[in-house]
Chain A
Amino acid sequence: MALSLPFLKTDTTIHDRIVPPSGFTARLTILTAGAMAFLAVFALTLSLATGRLAERWGGELARSSTVRISAPSDQVAAQTQAALDVLATTPGVQSARALDSEEERALLEPWFGPSLPIDTLPLPVLIEVIETSDGYDAEGLRLRLAGEAPGAVLDDHTRWRKPLVVAANRLRFLGVICLILITGVTAAMITLAANAALAANGQVIRVLRLVGAKDSYIASAFIRQFTLRGLSGALIGTVMGLISVALLPNTQASGGFLTGLGFQGFEWLWPFVIPPFAAAVSFFATRFAANRTLKRLM
C-alpha cells in the first residue's frame, strides 16, 4: 500500500527547516542586505561615473589646448593667421583651427542662453589645438606666439585639468571606499543577526546535539538560511537601486558634474554582481558566527 505523508517531506527539507523561519533576525538580515545593496548600487554608480570623468579629463582634454586671441579689432584677423601659421609649424601640434561664431555661441550657451547676440560682443577668437601623442613644448610655443601674435594666449588646460582629474580620481577612490565600508557593515550586521539567531535558538541546538548532530550540520542550516536571506535582500535592494538610477533625470544638456551619473552600456551588468557578492558575504559572516558560537556552547 502506498503511503502518503504530506507532513513529512524529505530529510533534506527537514535540514532546511530546522532553524525557525520567523523572528527579527530574518527581517534584520533582509533589510540590511537590501539597504546595503541599494547603497552599493549608488556607490558603484559614483565610482564608474567619476572613473569615466577622470578618464575623459585625463585623456581627451590632455591632448587639447586653446589659443585665445585678444587684440584690437583691426588686428584680430592678422594675429589669428599668424598664430595659426606658428601652430602649423610647431612640432607636436597635430592640428589647429579657429572656432567659428556658431561654435563659440554653443560654448557660451550653457551660461547665457541660446539668444545671445554674439556678433555684438567683443569676444576673443579661440583656436582649438590638438596635440600629437608626443605633445608639444608649451613654453617654446608661448615664446613664439608672443613674438608673432602678441595678443595670443596659450591655455594648455593644465591649470584646471589637473585638479579636476585629481578630484575625479579621489571621488572614484571614495566610491570604492564606500563599497568596502558597505561590505564591512553588511558582514558585521549579518554576523550580529546570526549571533542573535544562534543565541535565540539555543534549544534547537541542544535538541540537535542530543540526537547526534555534528556542528557542520547545525552550522550549515543557519548558513543556508542567512545566505538565502542575504541574497534575497540584496536582490530587492539592487533592483530598487537600478530603478532609481534609471529614473535619474538626464542632465546631459545642462548638467555639470552630474552629466553621465549612471551606468552606460555594459556597466549596467555590474550591479548584478552585488546580490551574489552579498550572498557570499552572508555565507562567510554566518559561518564565522556559527562556528564561534557552537564552539562556545560545547
Chain B
Amino acid sequence: MIEFNNVAYGYGGRDLLTEISLSLNPGSFHFLTGPSGAGKTTFLKLCYRELEPTAGQIHLFGQATRDITRDQVAELRRKTGVVHQDCKFLDHLSVAENIAMPLSVAGKPMDVANLTELMAWVGLSERADALPAELSGGERQRAALARAVIMSPDVVIADEPTGNVDWDMSLRLLQLLIELNRMGKTVIIATHDMHLIRQAKSQVQTRVLRIANRRIQQAGVDL
C-alpha cells in the first residue's frame, strides 16, 4: 500500500530523513513517534505526496510518486484521509459542508443519510450548521476526521491528532481511529503520547515506528 525504498528527504543541503525503507500493509495500524523536529510530519507528508523525496522511491497504492502530474497527486489524495493537528477548514462554510467537501471535489453525489450517519459517528450531529470557528479543539479534530474518511479512503493519516485536546477526547479520537482500522483501513498516527500508544495496544495490533537520527526504526514488543 505504501512502500519506501531507500528514501531520503532534505532541504538546504541537509538530510532530514535518510535510508528509509519500509512497507505499510493494508489494514495495518502504525504509530509514528520521535522527538519534536525529528521529521514525523515530513514522513507523513511524503506518505500523501505533499513532499517529493530527494532520493529513493516511494510507491503509493502501487504507483511511483516521482514525476507524476498534479491531477495524479489529487487522485492519490482521494485515497488518503489526512487529519492535521491544526485542522484547516474553509471558515466560511458550515461544518457539514466542510466534511462533505471531498465528495464535491471528487464530483460524487451527496448522500445525506451517509453524511448524517458520519456526523453522528464523530458526535457532531448537533454542530452540523456551525462554522468551524465556533468549534472546540476536540470538535475540530473530529470534524477533520469525518472529512478525512467521508470518501472511505484506504489510508488514514493523523498528525498529532490529540495534541490539542484533553485525555478523554484523545481516547475518543483513538477509538474512532481503531474502529476505522477494524473496517480494514490502514491507519498511521504520529504522536509522542506513549499513554495513547499503550491504550491502543490493548485493543488492536499496532506497530510503532520511531524516527531517530534521521532514520526510522521499528520498536515495540511485536517486532
Contact = CB atoms under 8 A, between A and B. Distances in A.
B89 to A, nearest CB: 7
B70 A214 contact: yes
State which size class the interface on A falls in.
20 to 34
Interface residues of B, number: 35
A119 interface: no
A3 B112 contact: yes
A7 B108 contact: no
Contacts, number: 85
B80 to A, nearest CB: 8
Interface string B93-107: 110110011111111
A14 B106 contact: no
A144 interface: no
B104 A15 contact: yes
B114 to A, nearest CB: 11
B134 interface: no
B78 A11 contact: no
B102 A14 contact: no
A7 B97 contact: yes
Interface centre among B92, B101, B106, B109, by most chain A C-beta atoms within 10 angstroms, is: B101
A17 B147 CA distance: 17
A212 B106 contact: yes
Given A3-B116, A203-B88, A211-B102, A11 B77 contact: no
A208 B147 CA distance: 12
B151 interface: yes
B94 A7 contact: yes
B212 interface: no
Given A14-B97, A214-B71, A8 B77 contact: no
A10 B110 CA distance: 7
Nearest to A10: B110
Interface string A1-27: 001011110111011011011000000
Given A5-B128, A212-B151, A207 B116 contact: no
Given A8-B110, A8-B128, A209-B77, A14 B71 contact: no
Interface of A: 3, 5-8, 10-12, 14-15, 17-18, 20-21, 203-204, 206-215, 217, 298
Interface of B: 70-71, 74-75, 77-78, 82, 88-94, 96-97, 100-110, 112-113, 115-116, 128-129, 147, 151
